Structure 1
Amino acid sequence: MGNQLESLYQIALEAGEAIMALYHTQVEVTEKDDRSPVTAADLAANAIILDKLAALTPGIPIVSEESAHIPWSERKHWQRFWLVDPLDGTKEYLRKNGEFTVNIALIEQGRPVMAVVHAPALEISWLGNGSKAWSVSNDEWRPIKTEAAQTPVIVGSRSHPSPLLAEYLAQFPLYKMKEAGSSLKFCLVAEGKAQFYPRLGPTMMWDTAAGQCIAESAGGQVKTLDGVPLSYHREDLLNPFFVVSYL
């Protein structure tokens, strides 16, 4: 898996280069059926990732946000598949705040077991293999682990605030709040820079799989509000609400 993880990292870097090539241009935006934005950068990164993954693992199917979605009648028989968001945080990309990522995860038996989250504007990546996690900058791989804190840091969405958050926060006598975009929230927990990320609003499978793998590989957990690990063997592409935590 080590060589495959390195290959995954290189694919994400290449997709990131395509995204950044368009970053300082006048980006044309169109709306998808769900009214979420899509840009040429999303599509350019998607084409690279699909092409490279097909060459790396020709027998493993791919589900991507920017590709036609395969029906559950076919997906339910898959033991393994790739789950891809070529540009997570398109709104952040359009705001040019740097808080967007390339997300690629390998799913086995419904669980993310290998992943990369790459933030091209920030020039940092996070990788996980199911048991270990790293942050990578300037090709230097640094092991990361989740950490407790006397005053926990709770990270929330920059673009998608939730009215349910106040109810969740009531359980903490003391806490600090931090905002971040895209899958960076998972990575903050994985690095020990935050302890909790409650997602009490809608997300899709491709938004979360790579970040979940990074957080879990670093020692954290990602569970639904029922206390069940977030799984990807299901018909509904829309995720239930969940909480990422340091343990």
Structure 2
Amino acid sequence: MIITEQNIEQIITIAIQAGEKILEYYKKDINVEIKEDKTPVTIADKEASKLITTALQKAFPEIPFISEEENIPEYETRKNWEYYWLIDPLDGTKEFINQTDEFTVNIALVKNNKIYFGLIYHPIRKLTYYALENQGAYKISGSKKIKLSKTDSLTNNMPLIVAGSRSYSSQTFNTYIESLNGNFSKITIQRLGSSYKFCLAAESSIHLYPRFGPTSEWDTAAAHIICNEVGLVILQPGSDQELEYNKESLLNPHFLVCNKDSLDLLNWLKTPS
């Protein structure tokens, strides 16, 4: 399958419509359920998922999907899929519930277990980020569309801006950041929610995003290709290998988002796997 400009416009429209559906419930008195994996879910998650999956199946009936809020196909069913959609209809449900404005719609197209296309829509800021393999990454704000520049490699003694999760922190994160103190003149941590962190990294507003908390493949998929197209990688722990997709378990290991040429300053290969 070749993704065309027309296809991209279709997917952008679907994401925006999902964002509008989510905002119908924002800052309203809604019920919060707790799923088996101990994460929250709301009617906004469910309605956005229904909208996205229905629209994608209508536009691309030959392509199956995995969505966080739908029944997940068994591994034996999906392991040989060539293409499939990987969807987080409301990434940052905790931020949505806590009314921090930091939540997104994530839609990715996976090809042979690699991310081929990814789109992130920020409903509050009305920002769209997307990327297609080997075609660059783009940001759309209103009628303005810009191609994101390649990120610069990190240098010794520069000030470093690090993204941290707003909803999850750990001593492991703190210890890792402390290990970088000798390599950078100053380290500033910005606590943020959802996949918007990846978008800021792709724009070079953030230099580093280490994640030691739990995530799933739908949390990173759309962001992964956006990051790759600007020279960022999303690395597995203690490795220079990137995250993998369509595993038997859809849980991610912890990971690091960074410029691909900066590993020598980041002590990541010393991180326990």
TM-score, normalised to structure 2's length? 0.87
Per-residue deviation at 1:218? 2.0
Residue number among 231, 241, 247 corresponding to 2:254 in the alignment = 241
Between 1:36-45 and 1:163-172, the stretch displaced more is 163-172
Please say if residues 200 and 241 of structure 1, whose CA atoms lie closer than 8 Å, have aligned partners that are also in contact: yes
Work out the CA distance in 2 between the residues paired with 1:65 and 1:230. Answer: 18
Q: Is 1:171 aligned with 2:174?
A: no
Look up the match of 1:111.
114
Look up the match of 1:180.
192
Secondary structure class of the residue paired with 2:174: helix
Per-residue deviation at 1:93? 0.3
Secondary structure class of the residue paired with 1:152: strand
Per-residue deviation at 1:148? 4.1
Per-residue deviation at 1:108? 0.8
Secondary structure class of the residue paired with 1:218: coil
- Which segments of 5 or more consecutive residues in structure 2 lack a partner in the other structure? 261-273
Q: Is 1:134 aligned with 2:138?
A: yes
Please say if residues 190 and 246 of structure 1, whose CA atoms lie closer than 8 Å, have aligned partners that are also in contact: no
Deviation sequence 1:185-216 (CA, Å, 0-9, x none): 11111111111111112101111101112111
Deviation sequence 1:91-130 (CA, Å, 0-9, x none): 1001111100000000111111111111101221211112
Residue number among 216, 237, 244 corresponding to 1:231 in the alignment = 244
Look up the match of 1:196.
208
1:65-76 → structure 2 map (5 Å cutoff) = 65-76=68-79
Secondary structure class of the residue paired with 1:50: helix
Query: Percent of aligned pairs with the same residue?
Result: 35
Per-residue deviation at 1:167? 2.5
Work out the CA distance in 2 between the residues paired with 1:93 and 1:122. Answer: 14
Q: Where does structure 1 differ by over 3 angstroms across 4 or more consecutive aligned residues? A: none
Secondary structure class of the residue paired with 2:109: strand
Please say if residues 107 and 113 of structure 1, whose CA atoms lie closer than 8 Å, have aligned partners that are also in contact: yes
Work out the CA distance in 2 between the residues paired with 1:203 and 1:123. Answer: 24
Q: CA RMSD in A?
A: 1.3
Work out the CA distance in 2 between the residues paired with 1:33 and 1:112. Answer: 27
Residue number among 192, 202, 218 corresponding to 1:206 in the alignment = 218
Please say if residues 90 and 100 of structure 1, whose CA atoms lie closer than 8 Å, have aligned partners that are also in contact: yes
Work out the CA distance in 1 between the residues paired with 2:213 and 2:148. Answer: 27
Work out the CA distance in 1 between the residues paired with 2:10 and 2:160. Answer: 35
